Chains A and B, each alone.
Chain A
């Protein structure tokens, strides 16, 4: 017989992303220019930093649709609050597309708003939320939405056919950490 017990009632204590703090995840996408102006905090955002994020994507449950989960790895550079880089499917190491976005400080000094936009199969994905820096790790909690590509995708960016990808209009959560 095998037994397993959890001694504690675990509560998720990470702060939830607030729409006001993190920008919109609407189909309008991210307005990078408007966020460039957010530099009135004491945190130095001018330094060029290389970051790797591992973020788990989970589609909101929808009647008639199977569950959808994926692990994405973002290899990005951040400077002056602007994020550029690449996003990969992390298990099979498929390059999905380039990434653009913003990474801007929130009041308090250790919380950041992060918003990323990238292509995944036939959709554009906007992922935004809040990153919390701790001495141990940097944690991200956010949400994503998708919309169909309005222009034919640049197939040159895709290394291999994708086994799975979200569909148009999907929404869900994105949680993860800097790795």
Chain B
């Protein structure tokens, strides 16, 4: 068995799910995702391939809800044998409406997720063995209720309020996604009106311009929970010791909320406690000068469910807001930092078992490489050399997440418990991989040919 075979990289499969095929496209139009997709590809992980698929719930103006989420998910498994690893939600429609149209009143009677869909995604987010899928939940500000609104009165996605005035953009496909839907405020202010909007425009210019907003971090601990002694969240890792400190801006962002997580059926606990969602980045509302939440994370690893990132607006991902940041761009530019954020998202949201496969690929490749340096037998020096290689080739977020994955049980037997640093630990893991490589090479050579 060769190292190349052993180091086979997994593929992270991302579904970009929208509900408006003529607005939030995968192309070049103002609300399209084309620019984000190009940047994501350019910042793809080193130890995994990316597969990105864009699907609209309604294929076109003649087909309403022909791509319900449960069908899209099951079709993917039938077609490829593998489920999606992540679903990134980019919804535009607010709610169920009387008749389907992509004209003035966009949406239709099946704009909101049905029970079959919610059941399917709930199951997918909680697969045994660390395979629970990751979710990016976006939306935008809240707008007046569509005049042809139909109140959803049945099932798991029944409306909790009778007569809302404002409903969120993206609410129709976002609100009832387990856990993730609870991280956004889908009714009431903020709206697009100057009086109650969340305006993060960084200058007197526009969202199209070259001036991004500045991020304010919440420092977090290793579990992603607030800790003044911690660091910015791995999503914002850029270069060693440096962080992604800017973000696309927008005149009317949506709002994030931290929900009540006392229901442990919805927000489960694991042997090491109950993971909590936490805001990890803030922006500044120019109107009131107040901090507003931009990014919330939930690390479900400890509870056996998928990770979640909630964002205050899909404007942080669409072409109109990326116009001022030409791509490709040199390191340290705002454009490169934004691209790295998308790459970090793909890694961070990957299911635990995928991150473990990536870590395994990383270990085999590093073991093979450091073997050539003739340092085998000295785990400390092997670890040092491996870290040096990683630092030159791999993003800090990917290194961080894969070294965390190396702490999983399947790696633990290869790792000395007394290692003081991650470098030492990696060296010990690589040492065992190198021994396995040497054994495999020896077994492949027929007797008598030595």
A interface residues (Cβ-Cβ under 8 A, vs B): 1-15, 52, 54, 56, 71, 73, 88, 90-93, 108, 110-111, 132-137, 139, 175-177, 179
With known contacts A7-B54, A135-B144, A15–B22 Cβ distance under 8 A: no
- Is there an interface contact between A136 and B169, defined as CB atoms closer than 8 Å? yes
CA distance A114 to B31 in the complex (A): 21
CB neighbours of A4 from chain B (8 A): 26, 37, 41, 51-54
Q: Which one, B37, B93, B208, contacts A91 given CB within 8 A?
A: B208
CA distance A175 to B29 in the complex (A): 9
20 residue pairs of the A-B complex, CB under 8 angstroms, read A1-B49, A2-B44, A2-B50, A2-B52, A4-B26, A7-B59, A8-B55, A8-B60, A10-B26, A10-B27, A11-B21, A52-B251, A71-B323, A90-B208, A93-B203, A108-B104, A132-B103, A133-B104, A135-B146, A175-B29
Q: A10-B22, A11-B22, A175-B29 are in contact. List 18 more A-B contacts (CB 8 A).
A: A3-B50, A4-B37, A9-B59, A10-B25, A10-B56, A10-B60, A11-B60, A54-B320, A56-B30, A73-B208, A88-B206, A90-B209, A91-B324, A133-B104, A135-B105, A135-B106, A136-B23, A175-B30
Q: Is B432 in the interface zone, CB < 8 Å from A?
A: no
Least Cβ–Cβ distance between A57 and chain B, in angstroms: 12
CA distance A84 to B55 in the complex (A): 40
Q: Is B61 in the interface zone, CB < 8 Å from A?
A: yes
Chain B residues 241 to 257 lying within 8 A of chain A, measured CB to CB, are 251
With known contacts A2-B51, A179-B251, A7–B103 Cβ distance under 8 A: no
Q: Is B102 in the interface zone, CB < 8 Å from A?
A: yes
CB neighbours of A52 from chain B (8 A): 206, 251
Contact with A along B68-81 (1 / 0, CB 8 A): 00001000000000
- Is there an interface contact between A12 and B22, defined as CB atoms closer than 8 Å? yes
CB neighbours of A10 from chain B (8 A): 21-22, 25-27, 56, 60
- Is there an interface contact between B51 and A8, defined as CB atoms closer than 8 Å? no
CA distance A132 to B56 in the complex (A): 21
CA distance A10 to B67 in the complex (A): 13
Chain B residues 301 to 360 lying within 8 A of chain A, measured CB to CB, are 320, 323-324
- Is there an interface contact between A3 and B51, defined as CB atoms closer than 8 Å? yes
Q: Is B423 in the interface zone, CB < 8 Å from A?
A: no
CA distance A177 to B315 in the complex (A): 13
CA distance A52 to B320 in the complex (A): 14
- Is there an interface contact between A93 and B251, defined as CB atoms closer than 8 Å? no
CB neighbours of B104 from chain A (8 A): 108, 110-111, 132-134
CB neighbours of A134 from chain B (8 A): 103-106
- Is there an interface contact between A176 and B210, defined as CB atoms closer than 8 Å? no
CB neighbours of A54 from chain B (8 A): 30, 206-208, 320
CB neighbours of B147 from chain A (8 A): 135
Chain B CB count within 10 A is highest, among A108, A133, A136, A176, for A136
CA distance A56 to B324 in the complex (A): 13
User: Which residue of chain A has its CB nearest to the CB of B25?
Assistant: A10
CB neighbours of A13 from chain B (8 A): 21-22, 60-61, 102-103
